[in-house]
């Protein structure tokens, strides 16, 4: 098992380092929009976290600290929250930050279908109580609310800019964050500059004033070799998502430092579609699980740089059930035995059949080969072939169509989220794919539904943990999913870059960064 907390960067604070300079940071993909209400991508979050501040801040231990909100209270029924807002905060466009701004942001969120909207859950309304007081009303209790509000997806936008730019706001983001948006040339770079007036930094930061960096430039470099190459050649100072094979070599490079943060949410997991015969059969799924040697997969592909996952939650998240670790193990003999018992017998080509039907497993994965997920598919295919299961791989850009039509037996997915409530989206019966949910498993179990509801409504953290533990155990026991790995977000940067930190979700924090001259 691993420590459940994101590992902060090796160096301490950069008080001794000089300030100024420009940090160029190579991203692997491009944000689609810098409107936090609109975009759901992690990469967008990495960029606009620097532009927007949130009402609250979630610490690595899962506790919440004030940020733009100085304090807050929750109503007894858990259905409304009242936030007292900080004074003297200004948006980059000069608009003052106040309750109206918060309301404008939350209302804006509701007009969209982004990640932000799910984070805010059963949102009903936002009421401006006074200039510095806002009340958020919910239709039902929603425990993950603060966690959601701490994310940059619910960062507060300038109401003036929202109105001014309308549909095009995503290209002209205005927040209160430590960096101001300067320019975005698509597929090339996003430039941010220091917000000199900033002095309302989050509690996890050491810095209390304006950022040390004058400029923060995100370069969009999808090609791995190019991205790593540009750090090595010094064209950029830092680059994200270093592939495992490069991690090993860069470790020996004296000019390059590597920082790693464990991301949180759900690990990369293969989900069975239980609505399709014959995979509705637990025993069959169990056979497959026994045949898949996850340890070998993770070791082979990630060369020891990634952790194996055991549950459908990542270890760093509230409610993670550590007891599931080592609960399953690869056992080809057991797999064969189970399959034999079920009456699937090997044919001439080594593939098992029953009643004239071959045992095939339709494995859906999206392309391109992000985090070597396509390679996982290749190995799984090989391993299952050993026990006589024919894996039909569909690796495509357009996973939407087969997912909507249910034409898959196994599909891979991972999610980034700070709260275990993420499981609701994955397992509650109404969270069907295409209707806002990711219930790939097509689970329809009232007991689980109840536990999931309990999970977000319950205010007692211990009870929440218990509910989620039960759910996790249920998933593993019923072999609904095969957790594979927990993604470590790895950044390679020049050794002159200091003070890079990561938040609970593994997102980089540039506020404290300094560049040694």
Partner 1 sequence: MKEATALKPIRKITWKASVSLRRISASSVFLYAACLVVIFMTACAIAPQWIAPYSPEVMDPNQLLQPPGAVHLLGTDYFGRDVFSLVVYGARDSLLIGVASVLVGGGLGGVIGALSGYIGGWVDVIVMRLIEILMSIPGILLALAIAAAVGPSLFNIVLAVSAGVIPNYARVMRSQVLTVKNKPYVLASRSIGSSELSIFLKHVLPNSLSPFLVMATVGIGSSILTSSGLSFLGLGVIKEIPDWGTVLSQGRGYLTVAWWICTFPGAAIALFVLSVNVIGDRVRDTLDPRKSGD
Partner 2 sequence: MTGAITTRLFSSLLVVLGSSMLVFIIMYLLPGDPVLIMLDGNASTPEAIASLKSHLGLDQPFYVQFYRYFIHLLQGDFGVSRVNGDLVLPKILEHLPATLTLTLVSVSVSLVVGILLGVLSAIHRNGVIDFAARFIGLFGISMPAFWTGILLLLLFSIQLGWFPAMGSDGWKTLVLPGLTLGLIGAGFIVRMVRNTMLEVLGEPYILTLRAKGLSERSVMYGHALRNSLIPALTMIGLTVGELLSGTVVTETVFARQGIGRILADAILSKDIPVVQGVIFFTAMIYVLTNLIVDISYSFIDPRVRRSQLKGGV
For partner 2, the binding residues (CB under 8 A) are: 32-33, 38, 40, 113-114, 117-118, 167-168, 170-171, 185-189, 219-223, 225-227, 229-230, 232-235, 397-398, 400-401, 403-404, 433-438
Residue 227 contacts which entry, partner 1, partner 2, none (Cβ below 5-8 A, type-dependent): partner 2
Residue 437 contact among partner 1, partner 2, none, beta carbon within 5 to 8 Å by kind: partner 2
CB of 146 to partner 1, least distance (A): 38
165/474 with CB nearer partner 2: 165
Q: Is 482 helix (H, G, I), strand (E, B) or coil?
A: strand
Closest-CA residue to 269 (of 418, 427, 421): 427
Q: Which of 104, 161, 301, 505 binds partner 1 (CB under 8 A)?
A: 301
Contacts 24+ apart (CB under 8 A), 73-77: 77/141
Is there binding between residue 245 and partner 1 (CB under 8 A)? yes
Residue 246 contacts partner 1 per CB under 8 A: yes
Tell the burial category of 157 from Cβ atoms under 10 Å away from its Cβ (0-12, 13-18, 19+): buried
CB-based contact 54:67 (threshold 8 Å) = yes
| Residues present in the chain in total | 517
Q: Which does 394 bind (CB under 5 to 8 A by kind): partner 1, partner 2, none?
A: partner 1
- Residue (73 or 382) nearer to partner 1, CB: 382
Beta bridge partners of 180: 193
Of 14, 6, 3, 2, the closest CA to residue 507 belongs to 6
Q: Does 196 bind partner 1 (CB under 8 A)?
A: no
Please give the structure tokens belonging to residue 225. 């070799």
Spatial distance between the Cα atoms of 278 and 342, rounded to a whole number of angstroms:
11
Minimum distance between the CB of residue 402 and partner 1, rounded to whole angstroms?
A: 9
Residue 255 touches partner 1, criterion: CB under 8 A: no
Token pair 């995503």 is found at 170
Cα–Cα distance for residue pair 135/82, rounded to 1 Å? 4
Query: For partner 1, how many residues bind (rule: CB under 8 A)?
Result: 30
Rg (CA), the chain: 24
DSSP 237: S
Closest distance of CB 10 from partner 1, Å: 24
Which partner, partner 1, partner 2, none, binds residue 368 by CB below 5 to 8 Å per kind? partner 1
Nearer to partner 1, 21 or 243 (CB): 243
Q: What one-character DSSP code corresponds to residue 517?
A: -
| Residues in contact with 200: Cβ distance below 8 Å, sequence separation at least 6, in sequence order | 53, 67, 68, 86, 89, 176
Partner from partner 1, partner 2, none binding residue 438, C-beta < 5-8 Å depending on class: partner 2
381 binds, among partner 2, partner 1, none (CB under 5 to 8 A by kind): partner 1
Q: How many CB atoms lie within 10 A of CB 341?
A: 10
Within residues 382-421, the interface with partner 1 by CB under 8 A covers 382, 385, 393-398
The answer to whether the beta carbons of residues 258 and 249 sit under 8 Å apart is no
The structure tokens 């603060």 sit at 146
CA distance 423 to 417: 10
**With CB cut-offs between 5 and 8 Å by kind, which of partner 2, partner 1, none does residue 303 bind?**
partner 1
**13 torsion bin: left (phi>0), alpha (psi -120 to 50), beta (else):** beta
- List the structure tokens of 252: 């020996």
Contact 509, 49 (CB under 8 A): yes
Q: Does 252 sit near partner 1 (CB under 8 A)?
A: no
381 binds partner 1 (CB under 8 A): yes
Comparing CB distances to partner 1, the nearer of 137 and 369 is: 369
Query: The tokens of 396 are what?
Result: 């495509």
Measured CA to CA, the distance from residue 380 to residue 390 in angstroms comes to 10
Nearer Cβ to partner 1, position 213 or 250? 250
Q: How many CB atoms lie within 10 A of CB 332?
A: 16
* Stretch of 149-157, 243-251, 281-289, 345-353 lying at the interface with partner 1 (CB under 8 A): 243-251
Is 353 in contact with 324 (CB distance < 8 Å)? no
Smallest distance, partner 2 to C-beta of residue 441, A: 15
In the list partner 2, partner 1, none, the entry touching 249 (Cβ below 5 to 8 angstroms by class) is partner 1
Q: Segment near partner 1 (CB under 8 A), from 150-158, 199-207, 319-327, 373-381?
A: 373-381
> Which of these ranges, 16-24, 92-100, 361-369, 404-412, lies near partner 1 under the rule CB under 8 A?
361-369
Nearest distance in Å: CB 223, partner 2: 5
Contact 133, 99 (CB under 8 A): yes
Binding residue (CB under 8 A) for partner 1 from 37, 243, 483, 488: 243
- Rounded Cα distance between 461 and 150, Å, is 18
Q: Which does 221 bind (CB under 5 to 8 A by kind): partner 1, partner 2, none?
A: partner 2
Position 224 contacts partner 1 (CB under 8 A): yes
Among the listed ranges 21-29, 45-53, 74-82, 300-308, the one in contact with partner 1 (CB under 8 A) is 300-308
| 322 binds partner 1, rule: CB under 8 A | no
By DSSP bridging, strand 179-185 and strand 189-194 are antiparallel
Q: Which option in partner 2, partner 1, none does residue 3 bind, with CB closer than 5 to 8 A by kind? A: none
- Region near partner 1 per CB under 8 A, out of 265-273, 340-348, 381-389, 483-491: 381-389
> Where do contacts with partner 1 occur on this chain (CB under 8 A)?
224-225, 228, 243, 245-246, 248-249, 296, 299-301, 303, 367-369, 374-375, 377-379, 381-382, 385, 393-398
């Amino acid at each position: 098992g691993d420590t459940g907390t994101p590992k902060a960067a090796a160096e301490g604070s950069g008080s001794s380092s000089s300030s100024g300079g420009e940090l160029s940071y190579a991203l692997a993909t491009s944000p689609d929009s810098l409107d936090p209400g609109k975009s759901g991508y992690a990469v967008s979050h990495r960029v606009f976290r620097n532009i927007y501040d949130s009402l609250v801040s979630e610490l690595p231990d899962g506790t919440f600290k004030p940020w733009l909100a100085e304090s807050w209270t929750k109503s007894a029924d858990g259905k409304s929250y009242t936030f007292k807002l900080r004074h003297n905060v200004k948006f980059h466009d000069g608009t003052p930050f106040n309750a109206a701004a918060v309301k404008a942001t939350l209302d804006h969120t509701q007009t969209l279908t982004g990640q932000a909207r799910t984070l805010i859950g059963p949102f009903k309304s936002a009421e401006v109580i006074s200039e510095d007081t806002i009340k958020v009303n919910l239709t039902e209790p929603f425990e993950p609310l603060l966690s959601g509000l701490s994310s940059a997806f619910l960062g507060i936008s300038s109401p003036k800019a929202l109105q001014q730019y309308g549909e095009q706001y995503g290209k002209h983001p205005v927040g209160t964050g430590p960096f101001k948006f300067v320019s975005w040339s698509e597929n090339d770079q996003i430039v941010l500059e220091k917000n000199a007036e900033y002095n309302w930094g989050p509690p996890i930061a050491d810095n209390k004033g304006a950022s040390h960096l004058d400029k923060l430039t995100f370069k969009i470099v999808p090609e791995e070799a190019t991205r790593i190459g540009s750090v090595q050649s010094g064209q950029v100072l830092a680059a994200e998502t270093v592939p495992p094979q490069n991690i090993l070599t860069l470790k020996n490079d004296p000019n390059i430092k590597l920082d790693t943060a464990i991301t949180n949410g759900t690990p990369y997991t293969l989900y069975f579609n239980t609505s399709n015969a014959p995979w509705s059969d637990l025993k069959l799924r169990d056979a497959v699980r026994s045949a898949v040697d996850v340890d070998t997969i993770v070791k082979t592909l990630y060369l020891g740089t990634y952790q194996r996952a055991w549950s459908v939650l990542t270890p760093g998240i509230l409610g993670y059930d550590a007891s599931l670790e080592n609960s399953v193990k690869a056992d080809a003999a057991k797999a064969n035995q189970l399959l034999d018992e079920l009456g699937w017998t090997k044919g001439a080509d080594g593939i098992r059949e029953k009643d004239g039907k071959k045992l095939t497993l339709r494995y859906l994965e999206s392309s391109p080969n992000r985090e070597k997920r396509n390679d996982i598919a290749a190995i799984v295919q090989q391993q299952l072939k050993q026990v006589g299961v024919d894996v039909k791989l569909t690796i495509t850009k357009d996973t939407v169509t087969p997912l909507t039509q249910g034409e898959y037996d196994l599909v891979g997915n991972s999610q980034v989220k700070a709260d275990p409530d993420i499981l609701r989206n994955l397992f509650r019966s109404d969270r069907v794919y295409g209707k806002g949910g990711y219930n790939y498993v097509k689970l329809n179990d009232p007991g689980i539904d109840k536990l999931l509801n309990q999970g977000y409504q319950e205010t007692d953290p211990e009870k929440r943990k218990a509910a989620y533990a039960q759910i996790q155990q249920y998933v593993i026991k019923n072999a609904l999913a095969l957790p594979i790995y927990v993604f470590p977000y790895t950044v390679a940067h020049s050794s002159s870059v200091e003070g890079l930190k990561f938040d609970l979700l593994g997102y980089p924090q540039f506020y404290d960064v300094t560049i040694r001259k």
